[in-house]
Amino acid sequence: MELTYYGHSTFLLKLSTATLLFDPFISPNPAAKDINILDLKPDYIMITHGHEDHVADAEAIAKSCGAKIVSNFEIVSWYGQKGIQGHPMNFGGQWKFKFGMVRSVVAVHSSVMPDGAYGGNPGGFVIEADGNSCYFAGDTALTLDMKLIKDWYPNLDFAVLPIGDNFTMGYEDAAVAAEFIGCDKIVGCHFDTFDVIKIDHEKAKGAFRLRGKELILPTMGESLTF
Ligand code: NI
Ligand code: MN
C-alpha cells in the first residue's frame, strides 16, 4: 500500500487494483497550492463526513475522472443528485469492492454538507486489500468503540488519526487511540491547516513514543509505503 499526503485529511491510497482518495480538500488549502486536483485520478473518493474541509474537491474530481463516491447514504445521495455515482454504506456494514474489503466504522463528530443539507453520521473506514489493512478514522474524538477495531483487525499496518485538537481529538488522546486499535504506526492528519489546530510536532511525536507508538507527520506530497 502506498499512501500519499495532500494536506489536512487528504490522502491518496494506491492499491494493486485501484486508487482511493480520502477527504479531498486541496484547492482551498494554501499549503496544497502546487497540487493539481486533476492529476490525482482516483477510482474511488472515500468521504468520512460532509464538512467542507473534507469534501471541497470531491465533485470536481469525480466529474473529471468518473470516480465513485464511497460514504454514508446521505452523502452518496447528495452527490447522486449532481449526477455522480457512488456506493452508500453505514455503520457495522462491510462491502467487498473489487480492490478489497471496506468496513464503515463509528466516528464521534458531526456532519453537514456545504449547502446545509443533512450529512448523515460522520464515520471512518477500515480497508483490507493486497494482504494489508489500514484504518482511516475521519474527524473523531477518542472513543471506546475503537477497541473493537483491534478485535476485528489485529494486524493493522497503519492508521490515519486526527491529532490537531479543538475539532477532533488532540495528539494525547490520539496516542491512546493508537493503543485501543493496537496499531504501532500512526499517520497524523487534521493538524496545522488552521490556527486552532496548529500543534508542536516534537511534543506530538513524544506523546506517541511514550506509548511505544510511532507518529508519522507527513509533508505535502510525501508518499509512505506500508
Ligand atoms: Ni469535520
Ligand atoms: Mn475536519
The model's pTM is: 0.98
Ligand 2 centre and the CA of 195: distance in Å? 13
H or E segment and range at residue 147 = helix 146-152
Residues of the chain with pLDDT under 50: none
- What SS3 state is found at 226? coil
CATH at 178: 3.60.15.10
Residues 6+ apart with CB under 8 A from 115: none
Ligand 1 centre and the CA of 111: distance in Å? 7
Cell numbers standing for residue 155: 494486524
Residue 96 CA to residue 153 CA, distance in Å, equals 16
Total domains, the chain:
1
Ligand 1 centre and the CA of 146: distance in Å? 18
Burial (Cβ within 10 Å: 0-12, 13-18, ≥19) of residue 176: middle
Angle (CA) 70-73-76 rounded to 5° is 50
Q: Ligand 1 being an ion, which residues bring their Cβ within 5 A of it?
A: 51, 139
The confidence score (pLDDT) of residue 203 equals 98
The strand pairing partners of 102, in sequence order, are 95, 127
The strand pairing partners of 191, in sequence order, are none
**What are the tens digits of pLDDT across the range 83-134?**
999 999 999 999 999 999 999 999 999 999 999 999 999 999 999 999 999 9
Ligand 2 centre and the CA of 114: distance in Å? 12
Cell numbers standing for residue 59: 465533485
Residues 6+ apart with CB under 8 A from 20: 12, 13, 42, 43, 44, 45, 46, 99, 127
Q: Ligand 2 being an ion, which residues bring their Cβ within 5 A of it?
A: 51, 53, 139
The confidence score (pLDDT) of residue 217 equals 98
Cell numbers standing for residue 12: 491518496
- What SS3 state is found at 186? strand
The confidence score (pLDDT) of residue 129 equals 98
Ligand 2 centre and the CA of 53: distance in Å? 5
State which residues form the domain around 30: 2-225
Ligand 2 centre and the CA of 51: distance in Å? 6
Place of cell 506517541: 208
